[in-house]
């Protein structure tokens, strides 16, 4: 269903205001700890719709989050709990805070201001004994007592002692930690792969459910970036003012002499000469570059797949990337083809086959053929997760 002429013309008038109102949810953050108990009842309750736009869980929550592992965090007044996909409660909301389920467990905060974990039945299976309890990744979760972090297993046993000032989640069997004011890298036994002597460490992202090849980690020392393998062996010395971890065989790096960005090979040679003002990995074998005030895309060999003609260009999700041209939005394929001419007031990433877009009337959803599948009948609409999307009524 294409947008009407009235809708397109109206967007030219109201777009600045809508951008101001809606930009806060362009990159929606994940739930973090909800610290306080001074929440108020929402004037516009939340519920959940299915992929046809039908309200399947009624408007009754003052706040809520996406479904994860079949359960969603919800708030009624100042208490948090969990619901199933049929809308029934796992248990009456009673927690001061709650995180999403991850690997079968979810962190919750009790009235005593201590945190523990509940299982998928709602039972407290790891007692509340931590000042902070984070989500499980790879069978381990970072926890804090006093000012130090360590890691526990799913039985609540401390597997890596409390010793870190900061502790990241495990990815590829490795976690970035901070000790004595510097960052290092540990494995699941707690052994340092990279000693804590760095200003920053960046791990590569998972690509299409497989480990990146080559698996090279970016580190920052004395203000410059270098690269090491997952065993901690240095592969390239620290000599780049800016760099990212390797993705799809190359890494973004900034050349010190001319201050421009290019793509590095594992050998240290340039796959793409450092000639760009900026580069960002976009997925699908593409990198976003900037030329003046406009954006385009190149491939790993430096071939210009998308000319610099867009005011905004975002990363790919499910094979499509949001773009902005002439103050309106649509989507690009990895080959640089436009799904439609620019016609939406805003555009978000595709999730589970649908993308949220801005209409004159509000936010609705389109499918990958740019057909309108959910009309903008809601005050607020968030991304689909496990077949449901949270919505807020007027």
Q: Can you give the chain as a three-state secondary structure string?
A: CCCCHHHHHHHHHHHHHHHHHHHHHCCCCCCCCCCCCCCCCCCCCEEEECCCCCEEEEEEECEEEEEECCEEEEEECCEEEEEECCCCEEEEEEECEECCCECCEEEEECCCCCEEEECCCCCEEEEEEECEEEEEECCEEEEEECCEEEEECCCCCEEEEEEECEECCCECCEEEEEECCEEEEEECCCCEEEEEEECEEECCCCECCECCCCCEEEEEECCEEEEEECCCCEEEEEEECCECCCECCEEEEECCCCCCEEEECCCCCEEEEEEECCEEEEECCEEEEEECCEEEEECCCCCEEEEEEECEECCCECCEEEEEECCEEEEECCCCCECCCCCECCEEEEECCEEEEECCCCEEEECCCCCEEECCCCCEEEEEECCEEEEECC
Rounded Cα distance between 149 and 161, Å, is 8
Tell me, yes or no, whether 356 lies in a domain.
yes
Tell me, yes or no, whether 102 lies in a domain.
yes
Tell me, yes or no, whether 351 lies in a domain.
yes
Instruction: State how far Cα 192 lies from the chain centre.
Output: 27
Tell me the CATH number at 85: 2.40.128
Structural domain range at position 93? 33-130
Question: How much is the pLDDT for 209?
Answer: 59
Residues 26 and 79 in one domain: no
Tell me, yes or no, whether 158 lies in a domain.
no
Question: How much is the pLDDT for 49?
Answer: 98
Residues 318 and 389 in one domain: yes
Residues 10 and 51 in one domain: no
Confidence of residue 42 (pLDDT cuts 50, 70, 90): confident
- Examine the pLDDT at 9 and tell me if it is beyond 70: no
Residues 283 and 394 in one domain: yes
Residues 22 and 120 in one domain: no
Rounded Cα distance between 275 and 330, Å, is 28
Confidence of residue 58 (pLDDT cuts 50, 70, 90): very high
- Examine the pLDDT at 20 and tell me if it is beyond 60: no
pTM: 0.87
Residues 393 and 282 in one domain: yes
Question: How much is the pLDDT for 7?
Answer: 36
Q: What percent of the chain has pLDDT over 70?
A: 89
Question: How much is the pLDDT for 40?
Answer: 75
Look up residue 228 and give its two tokens: 């090491």
Which of 114, 130, 146 terminates a domain? The answer is 130
Tell me the mean pLDDT in the region 207-211: 63
Tell me the mean pLDDT in the region 315-332: 97
Residues 281 and 387 in one domain: yes
Tell me, yes or no, whether 226 lies in a domain.
no
Tell me, yes or no, whether 221 lies in a domain.
no
Which of 108, 130, 152 terminates a domain? The answer is 130
Q: How many domains does the chain have?
A: 2
Higher-pLDDT residue of 22 and 62 is: 62
Which of 130, 149, 170 terminates a domain? The answer is 130
Residues 333 and 363 in one domain: yes
Q: What percent of the chain has pLDDT over 90?
A: 84
When mean pLDDT is compared across 17-21, 65-69, 122-126, 339-343, the lowest value belongs to 17-21
Residues 40 and 24 in one domain: no
Q: Characterize 116-146 residue by residue with b for buried, 16 or more Cβ atoms within 10 angstroms of its Cβ, and e for exposed.
A: bbbebebeebbebebeebbbbbeebbbbbee
Residues 52 and 109 in one domain: yes
Tell me the mean pLDDT in the region 216-220: 96
Tell me the mean pLDDT in the region 147-162: 98
Question: How much is the pLDDT for 210?
Answer: 63
Mean pLDDT over all residues of the chain?
90
Question: How much is the pLDDT for 213?
Answer: 75
Tell me, yes or no, whether 19 lies in a domain.
yes
Residues 22 and 39 in one domain: no
When mean pLDDT is compared across 39-43, 45-49, 131-135, 270-274, the lowest value belongs to 39-43
Question: How much is the pLDDT for 280?
Answer: 97
Confidence of residue 211 (pLDDT cuts 50, 70, 90): low
Tell me the mean pLDDT in the region 74-100: 96
When mean pLDDT is compared across 22-36, 147-161, 275-289, 372-386, the lowest value belongs to 22-36
Phi/psi at 219 (5° precision): -130, 155
Tell me, yes or no, whether 167 lies in a domain.
no
Residues 64 and 115 in one domain: yes
């Amino acid at each position: 269903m294409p947008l009407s002429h009235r809708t397109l013309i109206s967007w030219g008038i109201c777009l600045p205001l809508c951008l101001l109102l809606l930009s806060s949810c362009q990159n929606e953050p994940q739930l973090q700890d909800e610290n306080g108990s001074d929440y108020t009842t929402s004037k516009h309750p939340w519920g959940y719709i299915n992929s046809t736009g039908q309200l399947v869980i009624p408007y009754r929550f003052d706040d809520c989050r996406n479904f994860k592992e079949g359960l969603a965090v919800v708030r009624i007044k100042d208490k948090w709990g969990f619901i199933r996909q049929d809308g029934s409660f796992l248990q009456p909301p009673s927690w001061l805070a709650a995180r999403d389920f991850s690997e079968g467990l979810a962190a919750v905060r009790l009235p005593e201001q201590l945190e523990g974990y509940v299982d998928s039945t709602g039972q407290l299976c790891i007692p509340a004994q931590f000042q902070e309890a984070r989500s499980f990744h790879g069978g381990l979760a970072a926890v804090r007592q006093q000012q130090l972090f360590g890691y526990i297993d799913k039985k609540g046993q401390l597997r890596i002692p409390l010793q870190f000032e900061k502790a990241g989640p495990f990815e590829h069997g490795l976690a970035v930690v901070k000790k004595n004011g510097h960052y290092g890298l540990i494995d699941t036994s707690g052994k340092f792969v990279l000693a804590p002597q760095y200003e920053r460490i960046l791990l590569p992202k998972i690509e299409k459910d497989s480990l990146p090849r080559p698996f090279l980690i970016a580190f920052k020392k004395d203000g410059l970036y270098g690269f090491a393998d997952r065993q901690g062996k240095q592969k390239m010395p620290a000599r780049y003012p800016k760099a990212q971890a390797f993705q799809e065989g190359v890494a973004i790096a900034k050349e010190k002499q001319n201050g421009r960005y290019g793509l590095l090979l594992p050998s240290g040679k340039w796959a793409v000469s450092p000639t760009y003002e900026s580069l960002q990995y976009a997925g699908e074998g593409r990198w976003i570059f900037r030329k003046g005030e406009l954006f385009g895309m190149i491939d790993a060999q430096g071939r210009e797949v998308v000319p610099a003609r867009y005011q905004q260009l975002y990363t790919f999700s499910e094979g499509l990337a949001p773009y902005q041209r002439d103050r309106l939005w649509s989507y690009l394929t990895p080959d640089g083809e436009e799904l439609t001419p620019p016609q939406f007031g805003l555009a978000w990433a595709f999730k589970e086959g649908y993308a949220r877009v801005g209409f004159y009337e509000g936010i609705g959803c389109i499918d990958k053929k740019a057909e309108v599948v959910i009309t903008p009948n809601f005050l607020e609409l968030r991304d689909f997760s496990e077949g449901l999307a949270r919505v807020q009524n007027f």
